[in-house]
Amino acid sequence: MKASTTKSGLGIAIATLFAIVATLTINVLSNFFPPKGANIGKISNTIFQGVQITPANYAFAIWGLIYIGLIAYGIYQLRPPQRRDRTIQRVSLLLIVACGAQIVWVYLFTMHLFWLSVIAMLVILLALIGAYLQLGVGKVKVLRDRKWLAHVPFSIYLGWISVATIVNIASALYMSNWDGWGINGTNWTAIMLVVATAIAGVVAIQRADIAFICVFIWAYMAIAIRQSNNPTVLGTALASAIVLGVLLVFGISKTVTTIAD
């Protein structure tokens, strides 16, 4: 029975859905019952209010979209054809790792263990990169249900975690009173935005991943709004968003990645 269950992928599929629900539950509970009295949002707006690369508060509403996508994937991968798919099985295992690391991240961040939270964030990032590559987003032609229930959810999740990793590292450095090697915070923020844009630009050109790039543009616009009184950060964020939009259009013009079922 155990071998049969493993071969059918049922155990992995159930574990994946459980991991998604558990992560959502922990995130919700952490907002209402944070270990040290301050939830993630409050920490970002108080302790890290000087971190210039942090997006405006409204940007974090994207977590609602992320969880809708993950729940949709969780249901999708439960279907017999998908749970027997070796690629989906590998992706689901990586998602379980990402969910576990995210639960750990919530605990570490709310406990003010910021450098340890960076390690947890990197585990989430690496697991999602692995899942993204396994799915072949932007590289393989897929039917509509695979695109909307697997590719798009992981693109959005990975896009936001990519941004969150940069913010998390910047926050930990800020908390450590890093001197920036003589470069001020504004210029470092501009540098980080440029580097992030270069990395996302490669995805835009090579994979023409609309969902992934739109997450970056969403984050950049939120950074621009929060730093509207800082001309350097405002200009860099807006320019980065425009550049990514142009690169995405260029990538789309070169690549057709989906077929209608």
* Whole-number pLDDT of residue 179: 86
Non-local CB neighbours of 205 within 8 Å, separated by 6+ positions: 247, 250, 251, 254
Angle at 165 between CA 41 and CA 233, to 5 degrees: 80
* Whole-number pLDDT of residue 161: 98
* Whole-number pLDDT of residue 257: 42
Angle at 116 between CA 112 and CA 122, to 5 degrees: 125
Which residue type does 205 have?
Answer: I
pLDDT-flagged residues of the chain (< 50): 1-6, 257-261
DSSP state of 181: G
Q: What are phi and psi of 51, to 5 degrees?
A: -80, 110
Residue range 146-186, pLDDT digits in tens: 999 999 999 999 999 999 999 999 999 999 999 889 889 99
**What is the rounded distance in angstroms from the CA atom of residue 153 to the CA atom of residue 85?**
18
The SS3 call for residue 184 is coil
Helix (H) or strand (E) holding 143: none
CB of 248 within 8 A of CB of 240? no
The SS3 call for residue 210 is helix
Angle at 27 between CA 26 and CA 29, to 5 degrees: 65
Residue with tokens 């890290």: 48
* Whole-number pLDDT of residue 7: 63
Taking CA atoms, 58 is separated from 64, 98, 192, 225, in Å, by: 11, 24, 21, 10
**What is the rounded distance in angstroms from the CA atom of residue 216 to the CA atom of residue 75?**
27
